[in-house]
Amino acid sequence: MAKRIVIDPVTRIEGHLRIECTMEGGNVSEARASGQMFRGIETILKGRDPREAWVYTQRICGVCTTVHAIASVRAVENALKLEVPENAQHIRNIITAAHAIHDHIVHFYHLSALDWVDVTQALKADPAQAERLASGLSPWPLNGRADLKIVQDRLSGLVESGRLGIFSGGYWGHPAMRLEPEINLLAVAHYLQALETQRKANQIVAILGGKTPHIQNLAVGGVANAVNLENQSTLNMERIAFMKTLVDELGAFIEQVYIPDVCVIASRYPEWLKLGKTNLPLLSVPEMPMDPKGSAFAMPGGYIPMGDRAEFIPIRSFQDAFFEENVREAVDHSWYKGHGANHPYKEDTEPNFTQQDGGERYSWIKSPTFQGHPAEVGPLSHLRAMLASGYEPAKKRLNGAVGLLQALLGKDVPPGVLDSTLGRHLARALRCGLMYEELGRSMGLLVANIAKGDTASFNAPNFPKGEIRGFGFLEAPRGMLSHWVAIRGGKIQNYQVIAPTTWNAAPRNADGKQGPYEASLVGTPVADQERPVEVLRTIHSFDPCLACSIHLIDAKNPASHVRVRVSTGPIEG
Ligand code: NFE
């Protein structure tokens, strides 16, 4: 008999996500993804000064705050046709790259590694054997047996105390956990080291942004960083040199720990390089603008339509008409008034909760489409676009990772492994490496530009009386983010945010087509329906952020209440 698994809320994500799976013969036959919070920031913005929108929009989320701030100023600048000084682009790029590195590291180690790593098994490991194993992977200095023994002793203290602390609530001893004790021990050690490392990336964001989360240094027209390499109270050589030491430390962790760890886990769970495909189009945008107008980018992005992955349509500039014309959002299966797909300049956001279970409408998330199709966004889509456009650093990194994976597996890696649950993790790790390269490059470009005598960081905006509108995009850690704004007489008339998780966690669209989470789960085998770790593996591989896609919680609304964590049972009705 068909059964139903409900995971509500999915944990180790940002926000409240509910996943419902119909099970047949031990596999997921159908899935529904439901955002469980009401969205409202766009409504708050109506009537406000567009110059302050970025301050509000970055409060959408506690994780990817900076990206909403930058996408917001890009949207208003696009409406005004306002260029920003070169220094401002570089400073924003440094923040974007450092934030992405922080976010990708946190996602892999702290939000998803425990789907694959059994922490309690690390107690059985032989630290000397773990050291030997690790020495074949990288020269990371903290993989020595003495350091690993210290980690094992700390872990043993936690287990003996009966309080697992940050490791509580995992699926320990689950039959789907297959790593040998030594790999589990290395992963626990790296989990703890990743806590230290992500802080260094955030330090760069805070040095330039004033603080993090929620940077303070943006302005429509540029940044509020005073630049003078010889002045102690401004952005100067001492600050830049200090940031450079942090960049080097980040690079060492990414190259010697993060990327090898993803390859090792993939080599132990090779079936997850096939499971979790969406078979949907892939959408990303270019990132790291190199000029004041945003017409040249260091990292390519674009659209890869479904079916023919060889076809690639680049998105080329902040003014790209192909991008602007092809985005729509539908609410046919969401708790909002209305039907059909609307362009973000025209749509509204009027809540209309109907029922939680079994209804046609089942999520607070809307359903975005590109050229009429749902699309997968995220590091996988971005890496695919970079590869499709012949971006050499991406090709080089993918070849390196595939080489390591082949050596670990002892056989060839079939093409197409990126389109999978573990492929998403691999793509994210490689994008993290690419962002590290870009971070160093952006710092060099900033110093070179300032050295030429250019210290400008702001062009003042000037709002016309009539109506203007614009869009701003950013390739955020979870994928393509876009902000859309209509302005009249210097006040916001309409504002729409389409976050990466809106694309990936979308319910069915106006044509009944599944969103990426839903599509990726079909066919997933689940060994123990009371502990469906396999469903979480695929959902976590997207790195969900429900706060981004819905924005506000309505405590009085029954749909926002946390319900059963995991329940199984026959389907009713
Ligand atoms: Ni709240 Fe976000 C990212 C954005 S995802 S984390 O990355 O934008 O929807």
* Domain definitions of the chain by residue range: 3-570
Pocket of ligand 1 (CB under 6 A): 14, 61, 63-64, 67-68, 476-478, 481, 499-501, 545, 547-549
SS3 at position 308: coil
Residues of the chain with pLDDT > 90, as a percent, come to 77
Residue 64 token pair: 């990817």
Amino acid at 340: G
Distance (Å, whole) CA 429 – CA 100: 11
* Exposed / middle / buried, residue 369 (Cβ in 10 Å: 0-12, 13-18, 19+): buried
pLDDT for 570 beyond 70: no
- Per-residue pLDDT at 63: 85
Query: Do the bridges between strand 479-488 and strand 341-342 make them parallel or antiparallel, or are there none, so unpaired?
Result: unpaired
- Helix, coil or strand: residue 159: helix
Expressed in angstroms and rounded, the spacing between residue 497 Cα and the centre of ligand 1 is: 11
394-442 pLDDT, tens digit per residue, is 999 999 999 999 999 999 998 889 999 999 999 999 999 999 999 999 9
The CA–CA distances, whole Å, from 402 to 11, 122, 267, 275 equal 31, 27, 11, 18
Ligand 1, atom nearest to 14 Cα: 1
- Mean pLDDT, residues 211-232 taken together: 92
Calculate mean pLDDT across residues 76-87.
Answer: 98
> Structure tokens of 23?
């099970």
pLDDT category at 550 given cuts 50, 70, 90 is low
- Out of 105, 432, 548, mutate this one to test ligand 1's pocket (max ligand atoms within 8 Å of CB): namely 548
Q: Ligand 1 mean position to 231 CA, how many Å? A: 36
**485: three-class secondary structure by DSSP:** strand
Q: What is the tens place of the pLDDT at every residue in 174-209?
A: 999 999 999 999 999 999 999 999 999 999 999 999
- Among the residue ranges 63-77, 330-344, 526-540, 542-556, the one predicted with the least confidence is 542-556
What is the atom index within ligand 1 of the atom nearest the CA of 504?
9
- Checking if the pLDDT of 348 tops 80, the result is no
Nearest to 256 by CA among 137, 129, 402: 137
Measured in Å, residue 543 CA sits from the centre of ligand 1 at 9
Q: Considering only CA atoms, which of 357, 328, 250 is closest in space to residue 502?
A: 328
Nearest atom in ligand 1 to the alpha carbon of residue 474 is: 8
| Least confident window among 35-44, 224-233, 254-263 | 35-44
pTM recorded for the entire structure: 0.94
Backbone φ and ψ for 338, nearest 5 degrees, come out as 110, 175
- Ligand 1 centre to CA of 97 (Å) is 14
| DSSP annotation of 559 | G
Lowest mean pLDDT among 337-341, 392-396, 471-475: 337-341
Mutate to test the pocket of ligand 1, among 70, 540, 545 (most ligand atoms within 8 A of CB): 545
Cα separations in angstroms, 418 against 9, 255, 259, 263, 422: 27, 19, 14, 12, 7
Q: Which amino acid is at 145?
A: R
Report whether pLDDT(551) > 80: no
476 CA → ligand 1 middle, Å: 6
Indicate which atom in ligand 1 lies nearest the CA of residue 479.
Answer: 7
**Cα(311)–Cα(388) distance, rounded to whole angstroms?**
8
Q: Which atom of ligand 1 is nearest to the CA of 62?
A: 1
**Best-predicted range by mean pLDDT (169-178, 411-420, 479-488):** 479-488
Ligand 1 center–CA 319 separation, angstroms? 22
The dihedral built from the CA positions of residue 518, 520, 525 and 531, taken in this order, carries a sign that is negative
Q: pLDDT tens for residues 301-313?
A: 999 997 656 789 9
Query: Which residue out of 14, 67, 551 has the highest number of ligand 1 atoms within 8 Å of its CB and is therefore the one to mutate?
Result: 67
Superfamily in which the 3-570 domain is placed by CATH: Cytochrome-c3 Hydrogenase, chain B (1.10.645.10)
Atom number, ligand 1, closest to the C-alpha of residue 477: 7
Confidence of residue 9 (pLDDT cuts 50, 70, 90): confident
Which candidate, 313, 293, 289, places its Cα nearest to that of 303? Answer: 313
